[in-house]
Structure 1
Amino acid sequence: MKKEIFRAFRHSIVFLFIILTISHAQVLKPGFDKNEYMELMKVSARFGDTTYVNAIEKPQQYDFVYRSPVVGLENRWDLWVNKQHSIGVISIRGSVASSVSWLANFYSAMVPAKGELEISAKEKFVYELASNPKAAVHVGWLVSTAFLSKDILPKIDSCYKKGIKDMIIMGHSQGGGIAYLMTAYLYSLQKSKQLPEDVRFKTYCSAGPKPGNLFFAYEYEAMTQNGWAYNVVNSADWVPEVPLSVQTIHDFNTTNLFANARGIIKKQKFFQRIALNYVYNRLSKPSLKAQKRYQNYLGKMAYKLVKKNLKGYISPEYYSSSNYVRTGSIIVLLADEEYYKIYPDNKEKVFVHHFHAPYMYLTEKLAWNQHGTLTDSLALPFLDGTWELTYISGPKITFDGLYPNRKPSITLHTNNRTVAGNSSCNLFRGQFTITDQTIRFPDTFVMTRMFCEGGGEQAFMDALKKVNKYAIADNTLTFYMNELPLIRFTRKL
């Protein structure tokens, strides 16, 4: 009897262990998750100057853990960890306002997706981002990947030892271009048993440029298929359209229409042969010359600048292709008429469509229906307009005592997710996020700086930061923290 009880207990323990293991493995889900991407955009926006950082709401689900030193071509990354689940985020910084950072973009000749880089006199970076010998990638971002990986790999190991086996790779702009190559590199390390096989990677390349040629894209998409990598693109943004692409007759699979074109032409009659040779040369030679010029200027000449900043770095042999293609499972953020009213084209502000704010605005408009397809944006016109405060929870002083002269008010614009108002003393403005049930305001607003007597302003601004839900009935708008009503407004006619 005791043996049977012990056997049953042992089986129960084993079953519990299996359940716990499965539940852990299911924390990070495949598929594009709008809310997950929005949180990652908030993580990604932590790079930059104070004004840029403060314009985007802080991440709610992740804690900042580590920021790397600046390495390579002024590259940097952050490590964040989910507050509730064992998920780490590798957030790769995009371009910054320096010539060295932009050199990583302009150094855009292609190199084979398998080989080694001599990144210093004593270091070689051995990599295999794709097995096809025709696969090639952007050399500048490969150099960045080489330097960043030296710091990232030990942190992945530390996370793994702490039980964090789910890792999200996030990059916006140049960070997105590097994220492609970093993802492929980490997968290759798993394949060669240099990283544990049970580490699960998921990648979001946001506003990312094109990382390599078609043969690299094929293998990248195959290794990340079934919902483990996405390329998020604003249709108004020019950055996903670069680097410039030049396709030649050599950029096709081995079996193709052009492989034996010369031989076929030779078999034709004399006058037909002359005509076909003329047409063939006029079509093929310009692209071949353009590709050579591309490689000369953005490979050999750019290298002279790179080696001044990376002592000991030796240029690899370039791959004779410049056929850059868009890569990965694409999530299109389609710029519409309403979008262009908020973010109009501007020849002077060439990054107007590229920053985090326009991407987040268009992402908020995404909605998934019950069939898993995209629907129109969330329409909340009943919230639009100006609202005046009538109630605030917390302060012991009376409402009229808090606001003897002027009551706080807010004006909401749900089409572009902006809020403006007065705190009873100062003017403020910012952006907010909203769904059909939740609403969140930023921790920091852009505000005027008048001196304010009493504690009314502070009480109101503190309450706004705590809000996460809302309800509306007739002309009354109530903001909640979970189920607790914090502040209440009436519509101002």
Structure 2
Amino acid sequence: MKKEMFRAFTNSIVLIFIILTTSYAQVLKPGFDKEEYMELMKVSARFGDTTYSNAIAKPQQYDFVYRSPVIGLENRWDLWVNKQHSVGVISIRGTAASSVSWLANFYSAMVPAKGELEISAKEKFVYELASNPKAAVHVGWLVSTAFLSKDILPKIDSCYKKGIKDMLIMGHSQGGGIAYLMTAYLYSLQKNKQLPEDIRFKTYCSAGPKPGNLFFAYEYEAMTQNGWAYNVVNSADWVPEVPLSVQTIYDFNTTNLFANARGIIRKQKFFQRIALNYMYNRLSKPSLKAQKRYQNYLGKMAYKLVKKNLNGYISPEYYSSNNYVRTGSIIVLLADEEYYKVYPDSKDKVFVHHFHGPYMYLTEKLTWNHHSTATDSLSLASLNGTWELNYISGVKIAFDSLYLNQKPAITVNTNDHTIVGNNSCNSFRGKFTIKDQTIRFPDTFVMTRMFCEGGGEQVFMDALKKMNKYTISANMLTFYMNEVSIMRFTRKL
């Protein structure tokens, strides 16, 4: 009997351990997460100069770990880590203020999405970003992906050995264009068992240009569907509209209306055949000529400049297409009248709508997070537990100076709708109402009356009374006043 009880107890402990370790390992969730994206934008903005980066709040959830040397076509990436939740961030830099960095954008002929690049006299980059032989991608960003991956893969391995199996891939602007290809490359390494299958990648391409043709887009969207990759676009920004696209009769699926157009025309009567041939040529020849011109200028001529900066690099065979398409699950940040008052159009400031600031401004106005059906219903149980404050808006004093001795914390119980907590000085208790993601705390709490120095206590209590909505993501609880985030907490218990 004692042995049976001991066995049952042991099995229970093992089961609890499995449940806890499994849930701990699965931090990343599918679906567009507004707070997750905003935090990654703060990470991405660290590439800017001091004036630029200081205008963007610092990341709260991630710590800087590593910055790569400048490699390839002046590319660079950062590694950030949330050690508490075992999540890593691969942050890819956008275009830098140099001609070589811009060359990566202008070198925009297409190459097959499967093949190899001779990136130096002794190195070949073998890749498979899509299996369809019709799939093609931007050659400049493929070169960037080749060089960056050499530095990124050892860091992924290092993170994995430390138990970090959730990786966010973030790129803004050119970084977004590269992030598409990097994501597809990492997925292919997993498919070929060159990377552990239990690493979970989730990608945010922000302000990203078009990375390839329709057949690449199909496969990229299929491999990341169900909420594992997003393309965030400001509707006022011109960068997601490039590279220039030309669609020809050869950019369709094999079975299409134009496949046997010549044969059908030849079967017509003489005068009809003459007229139809004339119309067909007028429709098809201009786009075919334009595509060839683009390939000459943005491929062959640009290559002459690229090889001066990449010793030993050999141009690959180009794919005869320039049918660039917007790729991925699109999150549209719709510029409205209020937006244009803050960021008016300008003939001189051509990037006025492209920088981190306007993107974050519009993201703050989003009223929803788009989660897959697996996470659509936010369980009340996820709100239960103890949460410690790590961010509060509307104050000019630094957070650590506001709460020198103790950070405010709350414990929520949705069974009896009670909240107890400490505002860094006094304890308090009260009841709240909740429906879906709408929550309201009382105007008055039962509270101790100790004297407290500084204004942190009152700032916290005032904010708590104003909030009316919450979201939870990756053990982070965020409170909102209408649609503006005003408080953020980290789960403690």
TM norm structure 2: 0.77
Q: Of 463, 469, 488, which residue of structure 2 is paired with 1:470?
A: 463
Contact 1:468 1:482 in 2 (8 A): no
Q: CA deviation at 1:470?
A: 2.3
Q: CA deviation at 1:4?
A: 1.8
**What's the counterpart of residue 121 of structure 2?**
121
Q: Deviations over 1:430-474 (max 9, x none)?
A: xxxxx999xxxxxxxxxxxxxxxxxxxxx99x979x98972679x
**What's the counterpart of residue 173 of structure 1?**
173
The residue type paired with residue 359 of structure 2 is Y
Contact 1:61 1:84 in 2 (8 A): no
Matches within 5 A, 1:361-400: 361-368=361-368
Distance 1:141 1:468, change over 3 A: farther
Matches within 5 A, 1:77-476: 77-368=77-368, 470=463
Distance 1:58 1:463, change over 3 A: farther
Question: What SS does structure 2 have at the residue aligned with 1:368?
Answer: coil
Q: CA deviation at 1:24?
A: 2.5
Question: What SS does structure 2 have at the residue aligned with 1:64?
Answer: strand
Contact 2:206 2:232 in 1 (8 A): yes
Q: Deviations over 1:127-169 (max 9, x none)?
A: 0000000000000000000000001000000100000000000
295-304 or 6-15, which deviates more? 6-15
Q: CA deviation at 1:6?
A: 4.2
The residue type paired with residue 211 of structure 1 is P
- Distance (Å, rounded) in 2 between the aligned partners of 1:68 and 1:141: 17
Q: Deviations over 1:391-442 (max 9, x none)?
A: x9899xxxxxxxxxxxxxxxxxxxxxxxxxxxxxxxxxxxxxxx999xxxxx
Distance 1:29 1:71, change over 3 A: same
Q: Deviations over 1:80-101 (max 9, x none)?
A: 0115311000000000100000
Q: CA deviation at 1:43?
A: 0.3
**What's the counterpart of residue 76 of structure 1?**
76
- Distance (Å, rounded) in 2 between the aligned partners of 1:176 and 1:211: 9
Q: Deviations over 1:53-98 (max 9, x none)?
A: 1010000111001101000000000000115311000000000100
- Distance (Å, rounded) in 2 between the aligned partners of 1:468 and 1:79: 36
The residue type paired with residue 191 of structure 1 is K
Q: CA deviation at 1:372?
A: 9.4
Q: Deviations over 1:8-51 (max 9, x none)?
A: 24422431232023203431000000000000000000001110
Question: What SS does structure 1 have at the residue aligned with 2:111?
Answer: strand
- Distance (Å, rounded) in 2 between the aligned partners of 1:386 and 1:81: 27
The residue type paired with residue 305 of structure 2 is L
Contact 1:468 1:481 in 2 (8 A): no
**What's the counterpart of residue 19 of structure 1?**
19
- Distance (Å, rounded) in 1 between the aligned partners of 2:195 and 2:487: 42
The residue type paired with residue 324 of structure 1 is Y
Distance 1:468 1:51, change over 3 A: farther
Question: What SS does structure 2 have at the residue aligned with 1:46?
Answer: helix
Q: Deviations over 1:242-292 (max 9, x none)?
A: 000000000000000000000000000000000000000000000000000
Question: What SS does structure 1 have at the residue aligned with 2:17?
Answer: helix
Question: What SS does structure 2 have at the residue aligned with 1:28?
Answer: coil
- Distance (Å, rounded) in 2 between the aligned partners of 1:311 and 1:195: 29
TM norm structure 1: 0.77
Q: CA deviation at 1:5?
A: 3.5
The residue type paired with residue 280 of structure 2 is Y
- Distance (Å, rounded) in 1 between the aligned partners of 2:362 and 2:337: 12
Runs of 4+ in structure 1 off by over 6 angstroms are 369-373, 392-395, 466-469, 480-483
Unaligned runs of 5+ in 1: 374-384, 396-434, 438-458, 474-479, 484-493
Give aligned pairs, total: 403
- Distance (Å, rounded) in 1 between the aligned partners of 2:41 and 2:269: 62
Question: What SS does structure 2 have at the residue aligned with 1:367?
Answer: coil
Contact 2:30 2:372 in 1 (8 A): no
**What's the counterpart of residue 424 of structure 2?**
none
- Distance (Å, rounded) in 2 between the aligned partners of 1:315 and 1:147: 15
Q: CA deviation at 1:481?
A: 9.0
Question: What SS does structure 1 have at the residue aligned with 2:126?
Answer: strand
- Distance (Å, rounded) in 1 between the aligned partners of 2:13 and 2:115: 47
- Distance (Å, rounded) in 2 between the aligned partners of 1:95 and 1:469: 42
Distance 1:482 1:144, change over 3 A: closer
Question: What SS does structure 2 have at the residue aligned with 1:202?
Answer: strand
Is 1:50 matched up with 2:43?
Answer: no
Distance 1:18 1:241, change over 3 A: same
Distance 1:67 1:343, change over 3 A: same
The residue type paired with residue 208 of structure 1 is G
- Distance (Å, rounded) in 1 between the aligned partners of 2:42 and 2:439: 20
Contact 1:113 1:135 in 2 (8 A): yes
Unaligned runs of 5+ in 2: 374-393, 405-437, 441-452, 467-485
The residue type paired with residue 269 of structure 1 is K
Question: What SS does structure 2 have at the residue aligned with 1:45?
Answer: helix
Distance 1:189 1:353, change over 3 A: same
Contact 1:136 1:216 in 2 (8 A): yes
Distance 1:260 1:469, change over 3 A: farther
- Distance (Å, rounded) in 2 between the aligned partners of 1:370 and 1:198: 24
Distance 1:436 1:231, change over 3 A: farther
- Distance (Å, rounded) in 1 between the aligned partners of 2:233 and 2:90: 20
- Distance (Å, rounded) in 2 between the aligned partners of 1:25 and 1:254: 43
Question: What SS does structure 1 have at the residue aligned with 2:463?
Answer: strand
Q: CA deviation at 1:217?
A: 0.2
Identity of aligned residues (%): 87
